[in-house]
Structure 1
Amino acid sequence: MRTLIFRTIAPALTSLMLLFSVFVLLRGHNDPGGGFIGGLIAVAAIAIYGIAFGVPSVRRALYFHPLAISGAGLLLAAASGLLSFVQGVPFLTGIWASFYFLGAEIDVSTVMSFDIGVYLVVLGSLSSVALALEDREDG
């Protein structure tokens, strides 16, 4: 299914889906969404790009190996949980901090870093599976 129309629209569609996946990731703590749903949307975008241009171009576009992305996400999610032990609170308790950047106060939390870790785990592991299946199909 590598038609001219599909190859023309695939980069724009992939970009929009990746942007939407980040939006779903960032709004997921207070509303429906989060790291898992955002990661699934990102994997669907990568699969569309892979169908349009082939697995080698997707591997070049990802820059890092998908399992390395998954490992980094697992490390980030685990570190978010272990940070609560340092504070002396139960595991995976949300810890908030704020700092000033260019005159604006920015709040950060371990909840957000955990969600980003889940996003990266889902993105890395499922894109690895999708690329393996597409590569096998291309033969």
Structure 2
Amino acid sequence: MNSLIFSTISRLLVGLMLLFSVFLLWRGHNEPGGGFIGGLVAAAGIIVYGLAEGPGMMRKLLRIAPQTLVLIGLLTSVVSGLLPLLQDSSFLTGMWLFIGATETEKGLGLGTPLIFDIGVYLVVVGGVSGMVIALEEEL
């Protein structure tokens, strides 16, 4: 598309949408939201940029091939599910690491649900943007 206004606005929108998607990802591993909706918002931002600038610039923005993003996301999600097996727990059992506090105190609790959500995020971003890139290149 050769619109100067759309091209300019898309640069602003992609930054805002990616930032909002990371917020949804971070908030979602304990509350509503998470990797899927965060990935959809990120992919939508990338798609808006791609519609304004073309599929080549969309690939350049991603920096990693969409298929590779999907593979990394799948591996990340599977690893997060396998980690509890090392402690004789069931597959996909949540494990947490508390930084700066104990379980009962307020602290930064990082866990396998967040790792799983990051994997889902990468799968959704890679899958959706890969499909749109393929469609755009066909036209």
TM-score, with normalisation over the residues of structure 2?
0.91
Match of 2:81 in 1: 81
- Whether 2:133 is the aligned partner of 1:134: answer no
Distance 1:80 1:126 in 2: 23
Structure 1 portions without partners, runs of 5+:
none
Secondary structure in 2 matching 1:98: strand
Correspondence 1:26-65 to 2 at 5 A: 26-65=26-65
Q: Match for 2:18: what amino acid?
A: L
Distance 2:137 2:130 in 1: 10
Match of 2:4 in 1: 4
The sequence identity of aligned pairs, in percent, is 50
Shift of 1:136: 1.3
Distance 2:5 2:28 in 1: 34
Structure 1 residue runs of 4 or more that deviate by more than 6 Å after TM superposition:
none
Shift of 1:107: 2.4
Q: Match for 2:122: what amino acid?
A: L
Correspondence 1:99-138 to 2 at 5 A: 99=99, 106-137=108-139
Match of 1:24 in 2: 24
Per-residue CA shift, 1:2-31, capped at 9, x if unaligned?
A: 311101110000110111111111111232
Shift of 1:36: 0.4
- Whether 2:97 is the aligned partner of 1:97: answer yes
Q: Match for 1:98: what amino acid?
A: F
Secondary structure in 1 matching 2:109: strand
Secondary structure in 2 matching 1:120: helix
Q: Match for 1:119: what amino acid?
A: Y
Q: How many pairs were matched up?
A: 133
The answer (yes or no) to whether the contact 1:43–1:123 under 8 Å persists in 2 is yes
Per-residue CA shift, 1:30-85, capped at 9, x if unaligned?
A: 32210000001111111100000001111112111011011101100000000011
